């Protein structure tokens, strides 16, 4: 299933579940049967599952073009530089230590 197919399947799922839940509620209220309401809703869930879960051909209309492995190796994905949080903290701590001298963890008056 492609990306557009996933979006379409989710939209169909939401629409079908909404229609079946409203229909089940209305039917159950009119007939006065909680059992009938649950059966209609359960049937709707099963129907929705059969429509949206399998990988039907109409969900595969926008196929993705994958790169060959040799092409992917020629154009590697750029990596972000990782900055350690410890280095940031230690530089801030050093800066504070220079501004406020301490002895045994207590600030010394200037």
DSSP 8-class letter at 104: T
Strand partners, 102: 107
pLDDT for 76: 73
Res 89: pLDDT: 53
pLDDT of residue 58: 80
pLDDT along the chain (110 residues), means of 10: 86 96 96 96 96 82 76 73 61 58 64
What does the pLDDT read at residue 53?
Answer: 84
Which pLDDT does position 108 carry in this prediction?
A: 62
Measured in whole angstroms, the distance separating CA 100 from the mean position of its chain's CA atoms is 47
User: What is the DSSP annotation of 18-56?
Assistant: HHHHHHHHHHHHHHT-HHHHHHHHHHHHHHHHHHHSS--
Q: DSSP letter at 107? A: E
Confirm if 52 and 5 have CB atoms less than 8 A apart: no
Query: Does an H or E element contain 106, and which?
Result: strand 106-107
pLDDT of amino acid 92: 55
pLDDT for position 23: 97
Quick one: pLDDT at residue 43? 97
Instruction: Please give the angle made by the CA atoms of 54, 55 and 56, to the nearest 5 degrees.
Output: 95
């Amino acid at each position: 299933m492609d990306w557009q197919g996933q979006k379409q399947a989710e939209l169909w799922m939401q629409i079908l579940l909404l229609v079946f839940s409203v229909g089940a509620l209305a039917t159950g209220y009119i007939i006065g049967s909680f059992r009938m309401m649950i059966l209609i809703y359960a049937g709707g869930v099963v129907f929705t599952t059969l429509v949206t879960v399998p990988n039907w051909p109409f969900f595969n209309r926008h196929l993705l073009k994958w790169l060959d492995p040799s092409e992917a190796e020629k154009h590697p994905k750029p990596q972000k530089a990782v900055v350690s949080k410890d280095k940031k903290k230690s530089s801030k701590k050093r800066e504070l230590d220079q501004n406020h001298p301490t002895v045994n963890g207590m600030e010394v008056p200037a």
